Homo-oligomer: A and B are copies of this chain.
Amino acid sequence: MPTIVAVDIGGTQMRAASYTSEKLKPIKQKKIATLASEPGGLERLTQVIEEVWPTGDKVEAIGLGSPGPLDPHTGYLLAPPNNPEWHNFPLAPNVSKHFGVNAYLDNDANLAGLAEYRFGAGKGHHNILYITVSTGIGAGVIIEDRLLQGYHGLAAELGHIIIDINGPPCSCGFNGHLESFSSGPAIVRYVLGELKSGVGSSLKREGVITARDVAEAAHQGDALAIKAYQRAGEYLGIGVASLLHAFDPSIVIFGGGVSQVGSLLFDTFHASLKKHVFHPRYLEGLVITKAELGDDAGLLGARALAEMKLQK
């Protein structure tokens, strides 16, 4: 069992951990504020890594997870949000040089998918579609036990598959992506549009409405809020049907905050998936389930990435 240091670089926190055994529990774990918009990010990163560095064992690889876009083949961050210092920044090469150990980088959604494959809901499966439904929609794909990365390292951006070319704008500026129908902000935008058209609801246009507010209103029986999640579920079913035609996995795993609402989203999702899959065989034996690793997915994915690279 190799000794690994893993870091999950999130929007608010960098979490680091070291692993020396098969166990999911790290031997040391630490977190530090990311402070993306302030200088000194690399120093904060190396500091938190030093704090979890194992005393006895030789570290064989460092795994790093970060929001994209990034290049996993070179370890460069391309354009992380709110972080001008790290635009086109050689993150993994810098970390590798500092510690004298190979360092590997991939995006948070890919790594969460890899973590679920290795340690979570996907254990025992060889072809996995992991989808996180949250502020955005991200994904990680395992094909025959290998993480799909792509030529530029930009594969599996499955929130940005086009399901209705005439659909609403996505956060990325393009229209009709899966994310523009089924992400948290898409649910809120639908509610706001309906309120503007005069649809009655316990939700008010004044103040900021979040996807969580909509979920709470739905649980209280608000018809518009219920419809907003049902619509998101229906489009999620359309998107996943299209993705089954492309990848034909044996399991679909859902992570992310929006997916926590359960049947509010998934009743229409299941009906829509069944309706839009063009051959029933795709659904034979297909497991559809929730992610198991929660907040640890990022760290465990960064660890799994490092282990994967050591095995190559």
Interface residues of A (CB under 8 A from B): 69, 78, 126-127, 143-144, 146, 148-158, 160-166, 170, 172-174, 176-177, 235, 238-239, 241-243, 245-250, 276, 278-279, 281-282, 284-286
Contact = CB atoms under 8 A, between A and B. Distances in A.
Contact of A157 (B78, B150, B239, B246): B246
Given A143-B143, A157-B245, A174-B276, A150 B165 contact: no
A203 to B, nearest CB: 26
Contacts of A153: 248
Contacts of A241: 162
Number of copies: 2
Contacts of A239: 162
26 contacts: A69-B281, A78-B281, A127-B150, A143-B143, A143-B146, A143-B148, A144-B146, A149-B248, A150-B248, A150-B249, A151-B249, A151-B285, A152-B248, A154-B245, A155-B247, A155-B248, A158-B246, A160-B242, A160-B278, A161-B246, A162-B238, A162-B242, A164-B176, A165-B235, A166-B166, A177-B278
B161 A245 contact: yes
A105 B11 CA distance: 48
Given A279-B69, A281-B154, A165 B164 contact: yes
Nearest to A150: B248
A245 B278 contact: no
A63 to B, nearest CB: 19
A176 B176 CA distance: 13
A127 to B, nearest CB: 5
A231 to B, nearest CB: 12
A284 B152 contact: yes
Contacts of A151: 126-127, 248-250, 285-286
A243 B153 CA distance: 14
A111 to B, nearest CB: 17
B160 A163 contact: no
Contacts of A177: 278
- CB-based closest 3 A-B pairs: A150-B248, A155-B248, A151-B250
A143 B279 CA distance: 24
A166 B166 CA distance: 9
Given A154-B248, A161-B161, 5 more contacts: A78-B281, A152-B281, A154-B279, A154-B282, A158-B246
A308 B172 CA distance: 40
